[in-house]
Structure 1
């Protein structure tokens, strides 16, 4: 698979996760209507869904950042030094992609809560 194709697939993954939100957003609106929304279990369910939506947003951002990095990698000559690749990673906006010590950190620890920001 070429790096350009990989970048397109990452962008498509981001697009697909974003399109899932339409139905979920409609469900939140239904749950938020009174008198349902005063029920504690409904409020808790709404908060759980909102947290999941924030997690999706983070996944979408990660995919777009990785696609950007892959596109930049594709432009590099095969002889490019590792420092050039490091500069590309360092230019990304999400800390867990930009800061080497945070790379893959979500797989190393879990508190049971969503890792969002």
Structure 2
């Protein structure tokens, strides 16, 4: 698989995850009804949905950032030094990709109040 195809597939994955949100957002809107929202289990479900939405947003951002990096990698000649690759990673907008020490931390969600994007 060429790097350009890989970048295209990452973009498509990001697009597909974004389209999943319509139904989830509709469900959240229904649950936000004042009569339902008073029920503690509904409030908990709403919080869980918001956390899932945040997870989707993170996946979409990761895919888009990796697609940018892959496109830049594809332009490099074969004998490019590792430092150039490191600079490309360092230029990404998502900290967990840009900063090596943060790689993989999104798999360990923090416990606390859910935050909207």
Q: Same fold (TM over 0.5)?
A: yes
Going from structure 1 to structure 2, the CA distance change for 1:46 and 1:111 (only over 3 Å counts) comes to closer
What are the residue-to-residue correspondences of 1:93-104 with 2, within 5 Å?
93-104=93-104
Tell me how far 1:34 sits from its aligned partner: 2.3
Going from structure 1 to structure 2, the CA distance change for 1:74 and 1:16 (only over 3 Å counts) comes to same
With normalisation by structure 2, the TM-score equals: 0.89
Tell me how far 1:104 sits from its aligned partner: 2.6
Q: Find the residue that maps to 1:35 and give its secondary structure.
A: helix
Distance in 1 (alpha carbons) for counterparts of 2:110 and 2:95? 21
Q: Aligned Cα RMSD in Å?
A: 2.0
Distance in 2 (alpha carbons) for counterparts of 1:2 and 1:28? 40
With normalisation by structure 1, the TM-score equals: 0.89
Tell me how far 1:6 sits from its aligned partner: 0.2
Distance in 2 (alpha carbons) for counterparts of 1:62 and 1:50? 18
Tell me how far 1:23 sits from its aligned partner: 0.3
Distance in 2 (alpha carbons) for counterparts of 1:25 and 1:105? 26
Give unmatched runs, 5+ long, in structure 1: none
> Match of 2:36?
36
Distance in 2 (alpha carbons) for counterparts of 1:50 and 1:89? 29
Is 1:77 aligned to residue 77 of structure 2?
yes
What are the residue-to-residue correspondences of 1:16-95 with 2, within 5 Å?
16-95=16-95
Distance in 2 (alpha carbons) for counterparts of 1:4 and 1:113? 38
Tell me how far 1:106 sits from its aligned partner: 4.4
Going from structure 1 to structure 2, the CA distance change for 1:47 and 1:105 (only over 3 Å counts) comes to closer
Tell me how far 1:113 sits from its aligned partner: 4.7
